[in-house]
Amino acid sequence: ALGGLEATVEAVLTAAAAAPLPMGVVVASSWARSGEHATTLARLATRYAADGVVGFGLSNDERLGRVEAFAPAFRVAADAGLLRTPHGGFFTGPSHVRDCVELLGATRVGHGTSAATEPAVLDLLAERGVALELCPTSYPPFGVHALDELPVRTFLAADVPVAIGSDDPLLFAVGLAGQYALCRDVLGLTDAELAALARGSITSSAAPEPLRRTLLAGVDAWLTADGRVGA
């Protein structure tokens, strides 16, 4: 039954190994599927943990599933040392983000923007070092946030790690660099704030420590080039 899924994971891992930049793969189930399906995929992810699979996620509309139904799948992922990154707090309120952390053991939360409205959830994210994966162009088409309302500064001020992502560049036609450009041009973030976002994406990743140090040094070098510090 897993033949097609195994072939897909192996094809992605082969492509990742040949990519010009280091890559890790996150295997994801869907909020629209059953907890049993998610557990099957989590077990599949663990089988490839030594080959480049670094995380387990839960994608799509979080209103379609009950958080507790997916707890067994995330325990499987946690036992294997994988990142746990469910979508949450996109259409739902901050309590959903809290449940993703407390019931699923999330180490990152996909989106989670509604957490900005609840100080206790912000404190929880900061205390546990749970990063939010923010994708600026993902929100306006669904009426979640206007671009200029994305609460990036709220998260930074609360010491919540933030990783900027492109979500689906084929759908939204904006790559990662373009997402950073929107953070600067629409949200008015400074170079120092952009650097904080880049650091958050690195420290919340599954990158090996030597690679993390190299990447963080690159961010520092960018920030100090051409008098950017304090900009």
For residue range 119-168, list pLDDT tens digits in order: 999 999 999 999 999 999 999 888 888 989 999 999 999 999 999 998 77
The pLDDT assigned to 173 comes to: 74
Question: At 133, phi and psi to the nearest 5?
Answer: -95, 100
Model confidence over 62-74: pLDDT tens digits? 999 999 999 999 9
The answer on pLDDT for 85 being more than 70 is yes
The pLDDT assigned to 145 comes to: 86
Buried/exposed 16-27: b ≥16 CB within 10 Å, e otherwise: beeeeeeebbbb
Asked if 13 and 48 touch (Cβ cutoff 8 Å), the reply is yes
Model pTM above 0.75: yes
The pLDDT assigned to 230 comes to: 52
Domains, the chain, in order of start with CATH, read: 3-227 (3.20.20.140)
CA distance 199 to 201: 5
CA distance 221 to 228: 10
